[in-house]
Chain A
Amino acid sequence: MIRRLLPLAIFLALVGLLGFGIYWNTHHEMTEVPSPLIGKAAPPFTLPLLYEPGKAVSGADLLGKPYLLNVFGSWCPTCQYEHPILTGQIKPLGITLVGLDWKDEPDDAKRWIEQFGNPYDVLITDRDGRAGIDFGVYMAPETFLVDADGIVRYKRIGMFTPENIRDELLPKIAELTAPAKKATP
């Protein structure tokens, strides 16, 4: 009896495996490349401000409190979709929001910012994309959460949505602020 059922069992196991594959593919972003930077120091960068090209901001200038580094570009349609979410949901969180205008013409970026508004506390440009490569950026938008010590804590590939802000970003920010509160008193 068992020998007769064995082929059926193997078949069902195979169906299960393939079914799991389909489930997995529909629930995971298969093109997403997990960042090796998580838990490591953010790569050093020194980049000019979009509106004051003579002035540069470096990673060291941003140490001391956590910040979100949002990689965007005026050429990037998804960044347009993300823009109201940055303005409406992330800016109110009170975390420093650094905009990294990636592989973009400064004039285009300025027009884009003027058209949609500027949610960023600091707005820097990476025209040739070298800093982007250092951060392992391969599409836009991408967002890095960097803690007060300059360690990358979280990376979002693609746009923020209300769901992933609630499920991923908020807990990560909470992790950063909770130990700090304990440490200060």
Chain B
Amino acid sequence: MSAVERTGDDPPFPCVAGEGARRAERGRSVPRPHPPPAPSPASVGRNDITGLGAFVLGICLAIAILAFSASAFAIDPLPFKDRAEEVRFQNLARQLRCLVCQNQDLADSDADLAKDLRKQVFDMMRSGKTDDEIKQYLVARYNDFVLYDPPLKPGTWLLWFTPFVLVLIGACVVVVIVRRRSALLPAESGTASALATRAESKPAESAPAQSGDDW
């Protein structure tokens, strides 16, 4: 039983708006730099082409260009005043999580709520808010969860430091094992001193307790 069924929660807006074609176009639709304005299919059709081959080629070209331009505008276009503003917006939107499709960022999500939030972020940018203020605005409403990069604070220490602690523990285990083994089994091709150590530790070595390091 899926989580959604269990509480009857109903993500109201589909994560991907349309079917088929729209879905396909979204497949590569992270709205990066907009491509130069594509010629309309009509203008492609107006080329001086004769023969079926050229005609088919033209159609294919038109479809390809259309698909490409459509993919760039799959996300609702916002009236950016310049490239810098757009880059800033995209950068910010990529750091924010869509609450409906929780594994998508705001830039990538087609959910209706994500559209609203993009609009909100855009309006706040226009009203002169800094990136941090905008993030704070969303965190105050939707929790730290909206940030893809969780902030470092007591509540997230476990999240941030557990991996390092585990690596440290692993390293300690490795060091202990290596030390024990090198103490018990000096290299056969060792130097005279190594052989001497070996001779000293011989009684211990010959003891059957070696099986301890079998893991």
Contact = CB atoms under 8 A, between A and B. Distances in A.
Q: Do A and B bind each other?
A: yes
Contact of B8 (A34, A136, A159): A159
Contacts of B113: 129, 138
Nearest to A77: B10
B3 interface: yes
Interface stretch (B19-27, B40-48, B140-148, B181-189): B140-148
Contacts of B9: 29, 31-32, 78, 139, 157-159
B32 to A, nearest CB: 27
Interface string B1-25: 0011011111110000000000000
A92 interface: no
A128 B115 CA distance: 11
Determine chain B's interface SS by DSSP, over half rule.
Answer: helix
B139 interface: yes
A45 interface: no
A185 interface: no
A81 B10 CA distance: 11
B125 interface: no
B116 A129 contact: yes
A78 B6 CA distance: 12
A31 B143 contact: no
Contacts of A75: 12
Nearest to A2: B212
Given A6-B215, A29-B3, A133 B8 contact: no
18 contacts: A31-B4, A31-B102, A35-B143, A43-B141, A76-B10, A77-B10, A78-B9, A79-B10, A81-B8, A103-B116, A129-B116, A130-B120, A134-B141, A135-B141, A138-B99, A138-B113, A139-B100, A158-B8
Interface of B: 3-4, 6-12, 99-100, 102, 112-113, 116-117, 120, 139-143, 145, 212, 215
Given A136-B143, A138-B142, 15 more contacts: A3-B212, A7-B215, A32-B9, A36-B140, A36-B143, A77-B10, A82-B8, A134-B141, A138-B99, A138-B100, A139-B11, A157-B9, A158-B7, A159-B8, A161-B7
